[in-house]
Amino acid sequence: MSNQRILFQQLFDDNSKRVYHLCYGYTGDSDAANDLMQETFIKVWQHLDTFRNQSQLSTWIYRIAVNTCLSYLRTAKRRATDELNDHIIENHTEEPSEKQEQVALLYQSIAQLEENERIIITMVLDEIPYPEIAEISGISEGNLRVKIHRIKHKLTEIYNRNERV
């Protein structure tokens, strides 16, 4: 196995879960998230030799994932939020536990945030360090902390509103 294949396999193993969560945060659809994750790693494979070590590999992969998701959202026909919410709920065929319902409600709520808010909160949930989130988002760490505080407040309001429905 070549060094590039070994490196790629390691990158995939280390980052695929986070990239999937990021894509799921953008789409609210597990199939679309899987497709976007795969598309992200195809781009990583195709451009691995062009990586210039100006940032961490994980940051570079996240940027590719963000751009892939944004491209998908620009070209895909957007569904109404109600349709998206119905789809998320329908994906749970067995009787959902309270925790599963809370997770589904959280992702429903995240799907209602603006695109840039979804990316930031998804990275926070994936426990990406703030300096790395700031670098990916292209904002200062201080500004990021303020944004995260506002996003959490907005997300709490949306979650509570959705919980009452």
Residues 97-137: tens digit of each pLDDT: 677 677 777 877 888 888 788 888 888 887 888 988 888 88
C-beta separation of 152 from 121 below 8 A: yes
Q: Is the pTM of this model over 0.75?
A: no
Strands annotated E in 13-116:
none
* Amino acid 73: pLDDT: 75
Q: Which residues are CB-contacts of 70 (< 8 A; sequence separation ≥ 6)?
A: 26, 115
Q: How far apart are CA 26 and CA 117, in angstroms?
A: 10
Which sign, positive or negative, has the C-alpha torsion 43, 47, 48, 54?
negative
> Cα Rg for the chain, rounded, in angstroms?
17
pLDDT higher than 90, residue 147: yes
Confidence of residue 146 (pLDDT cuts 50, 70, 90): very high
Mean pLDDT of the chain: 81
- As for how many domains the chain has, the answer is 1
Classify 126 as helix, strand or coil: coil
- Domain span holding position 71: 3-164
